[in-house]
Chains A and B, each alone.
Chain A
Amino acid sequence: MTLIRFLPRAALVAVLCLASAASGAQELVVSAAASLTNAFQAIGQAFEQSKPGAKVVFNFAASGPLLAQLQQGAPVDVFASADQETMNRATTAKLLAAPTRVDFAANTLVLIVPSNSAQSPRQLGDLASDSWKRISTGSPATVPVGRYTMEAVEKAGLTMALQPKWIYGESVRQVLNYVARGEVDAGFVYRTDALIEPDKTRIALTVQTATPITYPIARVATSKNAPLADAFIAFVRSPAGQDILARFGFSRP
């Protein structure tokens, strides 16, 4: 086939592809807390299977940056945060369809150490000793796990003692990575994150938090695809969705 004869056909194919992309698949953009990465990917697959034609696109990061993106007008349909505070800020800023907000999962804060670490803290207070040089958690301004950690540390009266030791991560998954690589001596993550790196990290302590760790989800006010967004939220709360969350270690709110 000569190029001249081929070109019009190629153009037609391209136009058809564009047209089908515009009319066919319904795309749903979900901004979700980093700790939900693995569980939500599995939920997304199951949701797409249950709803032919639907396509879920995930945007995972710490809850703080996700909120900042929403404030700057990111085209997001559903927002799931790892704490109530970020969700409250989003509600105050009128970014959410408020009645759709609902808690769908709960988690636990744990202290992990690299699996080859010779030492293991028996209680939070042990971290004040000189043998614990670098301790990681999320950046408290933007990462919920950092705020939960600071709360627990303050309650234990360790704020000053641990101050020089903090290495702040961009998200809970970066904290997990720091510990798994042995770059820090210990780190605060959620139990579900620790379960993802069972070979490289081990849980030393379960940490009590004054604020329960619950995950809220809601439709974003500017969503152009409200029915699909509501369907996704319903799916997360359905027995099928809750089973997947449980498989990844989340408990019910």
Chain B
Amino acid sequence: MLTPLWLTLKVALLATLVAGAIGIALGWWMSRRAFAGKSLVDALLMLPMVLPPTVIGYYLIVLVGRNGVFGQYLDRWFGINLIFTWQGAVIAASVVSLPLVYKGARAAFEEVDGRFANAACTLGAGEFEVFVRIALPLAVRGIAAGLMLAFARAMGEFGATLMIAGNLPGKTQTLSIAVYEAVQAGNDRLALWLTLVISVVCIAVLVVSGRLLQAKH
């Protein structure tokens, strides 16, 4: 029962890091730039949140599968196969949790008073310096909230993960997939235990991160 738990935590943590880095960067970029088709880009970035996870899974199979658009080159050039691996599960979880980080970060950056950034620029700060020393500290609360939700979403990810990483006990069987298999097999006791484990872990994550956020303010 512990293997799926560790695997889930590992996948969710790495997915949060990946989605965090990309989501914060995109949120910053979108909050600072105006360009034609901006709302279309925004819609594309939010898509993973509203599409069924199975659709995301199918897109990923088409893209990174062994014969996929990119997957065939990953395989041919680097010998990398993402299907049926825990790394594949990380990709699936990153994609579905990206909108949560991106939306939170963009809203937080947009709320930062533009005059601070402008003042910093007149004092000779470059874009990167404005980002690190002005915007990030002021937006940290909204970003942290987005990351928290992303982690929770990554932990619960099921549909896309099942399609990409499959259901390999000990290798790609995360908690949510282990629950699914236990119910399919009519093993209600195991399903109940796994459900309790995932519920307790999720409550702990939410309580601890809530405390951390409060402590900062």
CB distance from B69 to the nearest CB of A (A): 13
B66 touches A183 (CB 8 A): yes
Give a binary string over A58-72; 1 marks a CB under 8 Å from any B CB, 0 the rest: 000010110110010
Q: Known contacts A168-B166, A168-B168, A183-B66; is A134 also within 8 Å of B185 by CB? A: no
- A182 lies within 8 A of B184 (CB): no
Whether A128 is near chain B, meaning CB under 8 Å from some CB there, is no
What separation, in Å, do the CA atoms of A64 and B169 have in the docked complex? 17
- Whole-angstrom CA separation of A7 from B166 in the bound complex: 51
Q: Does B183 contact A (CB under 8 A)?
A: yes
What's the nearest-Cβ distance from chain B to residue A30, in Å? 19
In the complex, A181 Cα to B66 Cα: how many Å? 8
Asked whether A64 and B185 contact (CB < 8 A) given A167-B166, A168-B166, A170-B167, the answer is yes
**In the assembled complex, B28 has its CB within 8 A of some CB on chain A:** no
Q: Chain B residues with Cβ under 8 A from A169's Cβ? A: 166
Mask, B53-97, CB within 8 Å of A = 1, is 000000001000111000000000000000110000000000000
**Which residues in window 160-217 of B have CB below 8 A to A?**
162, 166-169, 181, 183-186
CA distance A168 to B167 in the complex (A): 7
Rounded to whole Å, the gap between the CB of B89 and the closest CB of chain A is 14
From A166, A169, A182, name the one whose CB has the most chain B CB atoms within 10 angstroms: A182
B198 CB to closest chain A CB, in angstroms? 20
A120 to B186 alpha-carbon distance, docked (Å): 37
**A210 CB–B CB distance under 8 Å:** no
A141 at the interface (CB under 8 A from B): yes
The answer to whether residues A68 and B61 also contact, given A134-B84, A139-B167, A181-B67 and a CB cut-off of 8 A, is no
A65 touches B184 (CB 8 A): yes
The answer to whether B67 touches A182 (Cβ under 8 A) is yes
Which residues of chain B are near A65, meaning CB under 8 Å?
A: 184-185
What residues of chain B lie closer than 8 Å to A183, measured between beta carbons? 65-66, 83-84
Question: Residue A142 at the B interface, CB < 8 A?
Answer: yes
| Complex alpha-carbon distance, A68 and B181, angstroms | 11
Q: Which residues of A contact B162 (CB under 8 A)?
A: 170
Interface residues of A in 139-159 (CB under 8 A from B): 139, 141-142
A76-91 residues at the B interface, CB under 8 angstroms: none
Across-interface contacts of B183 in A (CB, < 8 A): 68
Task: Decide if A64 touches B186 in the complex (CB within 8 Å).
Answer: yes
The residue of chain B having its C-beta at the shortest distance from the C-beta of A184 within the complex is: B84
Given known A168-B168, A181-B66, A183-B65, contact A141–B84 (CB-CB < 8 A):
no
Contact: B65 with A141, CB < 8 Å?
A: no
Which residues of chain B are within 8 angstroms of A168 by Cβ–Cβ distance? 166-169
Cβ B181 vs Cβ A139 within 8 A: yes
Which among B65, B162, B183, B185 has the highest number of chain A CB atoms within 10 Å? B185
List chain B residues, Cβ under 8 A from A182.
65-67
Considering the chains assembled together, what is the distance between the CA atoms of A67 and B67 in angstroms?
A: 35
Query: What are 18 A-to-B residue pairs whose CB atoms are below 8 Å?
Result: A64-B186, A68-B183, A68-B186, A71-B186, A141-B181, A141-B185, A142-B184, A166-B168, A168-B169, A169-B166, A170-B162, A170-B167, A170-B184, A181-B61, A181-B66, A182-B66, A183-B66, A183-B84
Interface residues of A (CB under 8 A from B): 62, 64-65, 67-68, 71, 134, 139, 141-142, 166-170, 181-183
Additional pairs, 18, CB under 8 Å, beyond known A68-B184, A68-B185, A166-B168: A62-B184, A64-B184, A64-B185, A64-B186, A65-B184, A65-B185, A67-B186, A71-B186, A134-B84, A139-B167, A142-B181, A142-B184, A168-B167, A168-B168, A170-B162, A170-B184, A181-B66, A182-B66
